[in-house]
Chains A and B, each alone.
Chain A
Amino acid sequence: MPALLFLLCGCASIPDAVRDVPDGAAVELDHTPFFPQQRYQCGPAALTTVLAASGVDASLEALIDKVYLPGRQGSLQIELVAAARTESRLPYVIDGTLAALLAELEAGRPVLVLQNLGVKMIPRWHYAVVVGIDEKQSEIVLRSGTDRRRVTPIDTFLRTWRRGEYWGMVALRPDEMPAVIDRERYLAAIAALEETGQLESAAIAWRTAGARWPDESVVMFGLANTALASGDYVSAESGYRRLLAQAGASTAARNNLALALAHQGRFDEAMTEIKVALGANDEPRFADVLQDTLNEIQRMAERAR
């Protein structure tokens, strides 16, 4: 029988790095709202919970439309993340450790987690929201399913969370930073806001990141990009120039500078910049884009004539 148990659950132990939290750590976000789920709709319910806790006037019905997949009787992680962006929030996937989870709770943010309540071979995937940890009692408090306050032993929670690959996300306001920051993941999350057209949120988030890392070129690029995409060509221009002055050659910044100039009707300057970028050819992956930009500038110049 023990062999069978082992086979079924693949009982690897939980690494200390995942489990460790300071002795006596205790926090519970009592005020986190609760949205009891309907059948199979733990995804939308959990998402509504973290969004509402973050101050969004979130509607469960609307979020069902955004994330529920009837044919799979569930919701995908990717769509939960995508939907959070449409509600002007910055979805951030936390480090998969209890310490990172605790740090978010201490910052006042509940954490949406993916659990597998079954076992690997017979999974029962479930989204819930962690609202509390009590190290002494060895308990985790969740908003889960139809339970407003579900208390689970930490060990059981960790096993179910491990089978969900320790996946957890928070819905940050764009002016908030994660409690435990993985810089690359955080900047990519902001870039995703920009890419999906959440320009206002993106601009706030880039400024927030810029307050922490004023010389980070990705942040400067992001700020200039949100300006360019919002039609603020003058700010965009100065942003790209600042970047080029600091970082030396940057194909992407020069490409976008050329566009910012062209959109101000300064086609000659735009052509000069794009030709410099094409001549340098230091980032082959952007070669086609540069050529497209050159064509675009020519088209714009002809139309303006």
Chain B
Amino acid sequence: MILTRTRALVMRVVSVSLICMGFAQVAPAGMIGTSQLLENEARAESLTRIEMLLARDDVGQQLMTLGVEPALVLERLNAMTTEELLALEHRFDEQVAGGDALAIIGTVFLVLLILELVGVTDIFKSI
């Protein structure tokens, strides 16, 4: 319990520092990047810097909650575009995480076995 709380606190502190530092400034201040030019015209205004930092912070926290080492979070955030960060900020839980995880029981197993035998699925081969 205490550990959990400490971890939560550490995550919060690290996350705030993520907002303040470590933002990879790759272009001169004021430059309009090609991604910004291509952005869907439907978005009335370009994203403000604050909105972008909040998205970073939010996604960074989710990564940490999901067990990514704090030291690696910054690197992973910097690898993503603003569009990607926004997609994760708003729909993190809907993202598919490919990893072969599977939890099944009883009748479900039987049904799956039948599906497999008739060639609908390919679930039981060792992969």
A→B interface (CB under 8 Å):
1, 4-5, 8-9, 11, 37, 39-43, 65-66, 69-79, 81-83, 85-86, 114-115, 117-119, 122-128, 144-147, 150, 152-153, 155-157, 159-160, 164, 184, 187-188, 190-192, 194-197, 199, 218, 221-222, 225, 228-229, 252, 255-256, 259, 263, 284-289, 292-293, 296-297
Contact = CB atoms under 8 A, between A and B. Distances in A.
Given A41-B99, A145-B100, A256-B31, 14 more contacts: A42-B98, A43-B98, A69-B66, A114-B96, A119-B120, A124-B123, A125-B99, A125-B101, A144-B127, A187-B34, A194-B33, A197-B26, A225-B27, A255-B31
Interface string B50-74: 0000000000000101111100100
Contacts of A122: 102, 104, 108, 112
Nearest to A153: B119
B44 interface: yes
Nearest to B36: A252
Contact of A86 (B26, B79, B120): B79
Main secondary structure of the interface of B (DSSP, over half): loop
A54 B52 CA distance: 33
Contacts of B98: 42-43, 74-75, 77, 114, 125-127
B22 to A, nearest CB: 13
Contact of B34 (A157, A195, A286): A195
Main secondary structure of the interface of A (DSSP, over half): helix
Interface string B24-44: 101111111111111001011
Given A71-B66, A263-B28, A292-B30, A117 B48 contact: no
B99 A192 contact: no
Contacts of A155: 119
Contacts of B36: 252
Contacts of A78: 80, 84, 87-88, 95
